[in-house]
Structure 1
Amino acid sequence: MSQSDLEHQPVKSGRIELDPEGAEQGLAQLVLTVIELLRQLVERHAIRRVDGGTLTEEEIEKLGVALMNLEVKMDELKDIFELEDEDLNIDLGPLGNLL
């Protein structure tokens, strides 16, 4: 390789070049995945409590409204970051999918 070839190659700094939009998208995907996992866990726990008869009618109503509101907000955030449900299902290799 000649000296002129070396002069026209980009200098490598040893740092990872991150696309700001790509980083935002990846972070949004990770955060929404964690929120979706927690939402599903809370929903399962709520169903167990409802089935177990430990909640009043008022508590069941409030819980239902809260879970519906959270689902609506999740759908809004997925739209904002252009994510689908399958984007939130992280492949954990031999353990299978997260969700």
Structure 2
Amino acid sequence: MPLKIDEKNLKKGVLGLVVALVEIITELLEKQALLRIEKDSLSDEEIERLGEALADLNEALEIIKADNNLEDTVESVRCGLDEVVDDVVDKLINPVRWAKEVEEHDRNRPGEISLLDS
């Protein structure tokens, strides 16, 4: 499942990838912040500073996307990453299916060394 990056404009593609990754990290930080707030492990001042920092980061990302016309590129990268994650999770949940895929791959490409043989 390849990620679709604008091959005609590598700079735009790489910037789109970076923005998509920063968005994902930001979302994880927001979830972690909410968990810490629910556990009362942050002071009111820390909550305020954290909220402002995350809002500023989100605003900066939106400006970068708009200024560089990256909305479609970022969306494409995020969809591609979602597919990759879904595939990995599926393989972890269904190891038998993964083993069958490896066997099929090995049969179709007999000269290649499988990562599982290492």
TM over 0.5: yes
Alignment match of 1:90 (pick from 79, 82, 86)? 79
> Counterpart amino acid of 2:28?
L
Match of 2:65 in 1: 78
Provide the rounded CA distance (Å) in 2 between the counterparts of 1:43 and 1:76: 19
Q: Could you tell me how far 1:91 is from its partner in structure 2? A: 1.5
Provide the rounded CA distance (Å) in 2 between the counterparts of 1:51 and 1:38: 20
Structure with bigger gyration radius: 1
Query: Counterparts in 2 of 1:1-99, with a 5 A limit?
Result: 19=8, 22-84=9-71, 86-92=75-81, 93=83, 95-96=85-86
Q: Secondary structure at the match of 2:61?
A: helix
How many aligned positions are there? 78
Deviates more, 1:67-76 or 1:88-97: 88-97
Q: Could you tell me how far 1:81 is from its partner in structure 2? A: 1.7
Q: TM-score, normalised by structure 2?
A: 0.58
- The percent of aligned pairs where both chains have the same amino acid is 29
Q: TM-score, normalised by structure 1?
A: 0.68
Q: Is the 8 A contact 1:32 1:88 kept in 2?
A: no
5+ long unaligned stretches in structure 1: 1-17
Provide the rounded CA distance (Å) in 1 between the counterparts of 2:54 and 2:46: 12
Q: Could you tell me how far 1:94 is from its partner in structure 2? A: 5.8
Structure 1 vs Structure 2 CA RMSD: 2.1
Deviates more, 1:83-92 or 1:55-64: 83-92
Structure 1 outlier segments of 4+, above 3 Å: 92-97
